[in-house]
């Protein structure tokens, strides 16, 4: 089966063509992404309306490019897939509308995919020789910090997530406080290399709490207070390069410590022996390093895709879609998007 997938949940327009039988790990024939980072940079974050408009401009060129690079034509497609949840509602609607139009015109099935299941399936796509599932899934991106118990690629139960900012969002906001560029994650990582991670004792919220939950807004405020003191007037504060490096390193260390501790906790709670990680923050080398050490200590196997499969892309959506297609899980043409996260079934 040859399937085309579209990804438009946030600020990346992606299209990919994958070929597979719905049982084994599929072959990626093409995967292209048009990033909107340049459009959102001056706002320090994703502006939903700008994102929707950019998806409208990019979705057809991305589909054309993916088909061209895969060496297939529209008539060769057996199905069309799209990520319909969670994400920015206007952005989601663009991808879904394009996918519906193609499915209708080509008279092929439409498959809808949960973007977060896609992020976790990227671990399997990147490791075709390994069994990734069952695993604990950790998605850490600009929009999500969530833990899942994945009994299989299509059976992921949300164990818990952030009660305020996502991890990547915290990186972006702290980078902005420090006068660094956007997106903040790579900038903080770069600045942190010259800094001391112990220079500031920032809070590690929920570290010893039994709940599988995250909170990063207090940490962000702690960085702000370290920068300018709790009682000082608002206004621009310019840290020295040494201060910036120490603040960045101490902040990064606090985020990483919590993410690693919660991943361990979820493995203990579920009794699972494998961890799959996805999302842009998984590109952070300090995180990868500390997580790898922790997983080695616990004897669990860790799977993190290469950075191009960590950030938003349509190949991960297509991978999940081929499994759903084989399982007969296709969608009607009146299906809608769902902006929000599916809530935990219990606890959290």
Sites of contact with ligand KG4 (CB under 6 A): 10, 141-143, 168-169, 171-172, 183-186, 189, 279-281, 283-284, 311-312
- The DSSP code sequence of 67-127 is HHHHT--GGG-SEEEEEEESS-HHHHHHHHHHHHHHHHHHT--EEEEEHHHHHHHHHHHH-
Question: Which parts of 277-336 interact with Zn ion (CB under 5 A)?
Answer: 312
Q: Which does 283 bind (CB under 5 to 8 A by kind): ligand KG4, Zn ion, none?
A: ligand KG4
Sorted by sequence, the CB contacts under 8 Å of residue 260 that are 6+ apart come out as 287, 290, 291, 294
> Which is nearer to ligand KG4, 192 or 331 (by Cβ)?
192
Please identify which residue in the block is written with the tokens 């879609």.
321
> Which is nearer to ligand KG4, 79 or 320 (by Cβ)?
320
> Which is nearer to ligand KG4, 26 or 142 (by Cβ)?
142
> Which is nearer to ligand KG4, 189 or 246 (by Cβ)?
189
Minimum CB distance to Zn ion, residue 216 (Å): 17
Among 162, 142, 2, 146, residue whose Cα is nearest residue 67: 2
Minimum CB distance to Zn ion, residue 329 (Å): 21
Copy the structure tokens of residue 106: 């080509």
Residue sitting closest to ligand KG4 (CB): 185
Minimum CB distance to Zn ion, residue 71 (Å): 28
Strand partners, 17: 4, 30
Q: How large is the angle between the packed helices 241-270 and 217-228, nearest 10 degrees? A: 160
Q: Does 169 bind Zn ion (CB under 5 A)?
A: no
> Which is nearer to Zn ion, 113 or 174 (by Cβ)?
113
Q: Does 11 bind Zn ion (CB under 5 A)?
A: no
ω into 287 cis (within 30 of 0): no
Question: Which parts of 95-154 interact with Zn ion (CB under 5 A)?
Answer: 141
Minimum CB distance to ligand KG4, residue 143 (Å): 4
Q: Are 204 and 262 in contact (CB under 8 A)?
A: no
Minimum CB distance to ligand KG4, residue 140 (Å): 8
Q: Which residues bind Zn ion (CB under 5 A)?
A: 141, 312
């Amino acid at each position: 089966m040859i399937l085309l997938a579209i990804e438009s949940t946030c600020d990346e327009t992606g299209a990919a063509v994958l070929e597979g039988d719905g049982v084994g790990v599929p072959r990626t024939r093409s995967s292209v992404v048009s990033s909107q980072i340049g459009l959102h940079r001056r706002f320090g974050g994703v502006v939903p309306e700008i994102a929707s408009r950019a998806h409208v401009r990019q979705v057809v060129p991305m589909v054309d490019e993916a088909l061209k690079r895969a060496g297939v034509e529209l008539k060769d497609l057996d199905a069309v897939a799209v990520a319909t949840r969670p994400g920015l509602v206007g952005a989601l609607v663009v991808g879904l509308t394009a996918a519906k139009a193609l499915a209708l015109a080509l008279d092929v099935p439409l498959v809808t995919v949960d973007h977060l299941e896609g992020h976790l399936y990227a671990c399997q796509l990147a490791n075709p020789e390994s069994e990734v599932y069952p695993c604990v899934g950790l998605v850490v991106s600009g929009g999500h910090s969530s833990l899942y118990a994945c009994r299989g690629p299509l059976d992921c139960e949300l164990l818990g997530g952030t009660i305020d900012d996502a991890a990547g969002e915290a990186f972006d906001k702290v980078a902005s406080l420090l006068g660094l560029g956007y997106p903040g994650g790579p900038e903080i990582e770069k600045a942190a290399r010259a800094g001391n991670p112990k220079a500031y004792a920032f809070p590690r919220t929920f570290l010893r709490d039994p709940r599988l939950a995250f909170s990063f807004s207090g940490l962000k405020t702690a960085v702000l207070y370290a920068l300018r003191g709790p009682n000082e007037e608002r206004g621009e504060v310019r840290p020295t390069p040494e201060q910036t490096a120490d603040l960045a390193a101490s902040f990064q260390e606090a985020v990483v410590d919590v993410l690693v501790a919660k991943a361990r906790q979820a493995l203990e709670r579920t009794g699972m022996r494998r961890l799959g990680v996805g999302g842009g923050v998984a590109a952070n080398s300090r995180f990868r390093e500390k997580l790898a050490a922790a997983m080695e200590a616990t004897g669990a196997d860790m799977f993190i895709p290469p950075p191009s499969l960590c950030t938003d892309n349509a190949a991960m959506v297509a991978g999940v879609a081929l499994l759903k297609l084989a399982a007969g899980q296709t969608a009607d043409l009146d299906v809608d998007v769902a902006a929000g996260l599916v809530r935990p079934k219990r606890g959290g």
